Amino acid sequence: DTGVSQDPRHKITKRGQNVTFRCDPISEHNRLYWYRQTLGQGPEFLTYFQNEAQLEKSRLLSDRFSAERPKGSFSTLEIQRTEQGDSAMYLCASSLDINMLQGQTQYFGPGTRLLVL
């Protein structure tokens, strides 16, 4: 399977614990994105990387959230001291940087569903 993969698919944790999610993008894609989706809403942008550089972070991304892409390949998203409001689907996507005028299709993984008790 050469698509975007995410691990784990589901995570249940207790409030106050730290969690880390992993995303493996399509291998030749240089851009990687993290989104969060809550029930009944569309995904919300969290952050994105071009290669290993984190170029933008949403205001939604509090200090408890950190994302890395150390070698420009896979990425991790860590949430420290989880809160019940962090319960959501965390989606990862990747794309190939091309002419902006042509648009960029982002290819998504299946997501990690987080439940904070």
Partner 1 sequence: ILNVEQSPQSLHVQEGDSTNFTCSFPSSNFYALHWYRWETAKSPEALFVMTLNGDEKKKGRISATLNTKEGYSYLYIKGSQPEDSATYLCAEGDSNYQLIWGAGTKLIIKP
Specify the residue, 82 or 106, whose C-beta has the smaller distance to partner 1.
106
In the numeric block, the tokens 């408890």 are attached to: 64
Widest distance between CA atoms in the chain: 45
Q: How far is the CB of 109 from partner 1 (least distance, A)?
A: 6
Beta bridge partners of 24: 5
Q: How far is the CB of 110 from partner 1 (least distance, A)?
A: 5
Where in 51-106 does DSSP place strands (E)?
53-57, 65-68, 75-79, 88-95
Nearest in space to 43 (alpha carbons), one of 91, 79, 80: 91
Strands 65-68 and 75-79, by their bridges, are antiparallel
Specify the residue, 84 or 105, whose C-beta has the smaller distance to partner 1.
105
Q: How far is the CB of 59 from partner 1 (least distance, A)?
A: 11
Q: How far is the CB of 67 from partner 1 (least distance, A)?
A: 14
Specify the residue, 50 or 66, whose C-beta has the smaller distance to partner 1.
50
Q: How far apart are CA 25 and CA 18, in angstroms?
A: 23
Which residues contribute to the site for partner 1 (CB under 8 A)?
3-4, 31, 33, 35, 40-45, 48, 55-56, 91, 95, 100-111
Specify the residue, 54 or 80, whose C-beta has the smaller distance to partner 1.
54
